[in-house]
Amino acid sequence: VLCYHSGQLDQQIIAFVVPQDRNEGTADRINFVLQTKLLPYQMPKVKILEEIPVLVNGKTDRQRLLWEYHEEFLNQKGFNDWNALGIPEEALPTFKAVIETVA
C-alpha cells in the first residue's frame, strides 16, 4: 500500500495486489471486503498486478509502482472509480447515467 502524491489535492491510497486467484472481479471482491473494514476516506484504489517489481537488493520498487500508477493515471480517459463514491450498488447505474449525461 502506497500513497500517490501524498499531501496534495490528488492524493490517492493505492493497494497493489498480486492475487493467487486471477479471476475477473478480484478487485471488486477486495473492495467489498475493505468496505466492511474501512471508512470511505480510508479506502485504497486496488491495482491488480502480475508481480510486484523488486530492486536488485530484493526490496519492493516503490518508485516504479508509483511511476506506473502515474502513467496509468495520466492516460486514463473518464472516471472509472465509481466504488470510491460510496453510492449504493442498486443506484449506481442511474447515478452513472446522470453524471455521464451532465458531463
Q: How confident is the model at residue 76 (pLDDT cuts 50, 70, 90)?
A: low
Contact 82, 31 (CB under 8 A): no
65/61 Cα distance (integer angstroms): 7
Backbone torsions φ then ψ of 59, nearest 5 degrees: -80, 155
Identify which has the larger pLDDT, 75 or 12: 12
Domains of the chain: 2-102 (3.30.300.30)
Whether this model's pTM surpasses 0.75: no
CA neighbor of 44 nearest in space, from 12, 67, 6, 7: 12
Query: What is the DSSP code (8-state) at residue 43?
Result: P
Q: How confident is the model at residue 8 (pLDDT cuts 50, 70, 90)?
A: confident
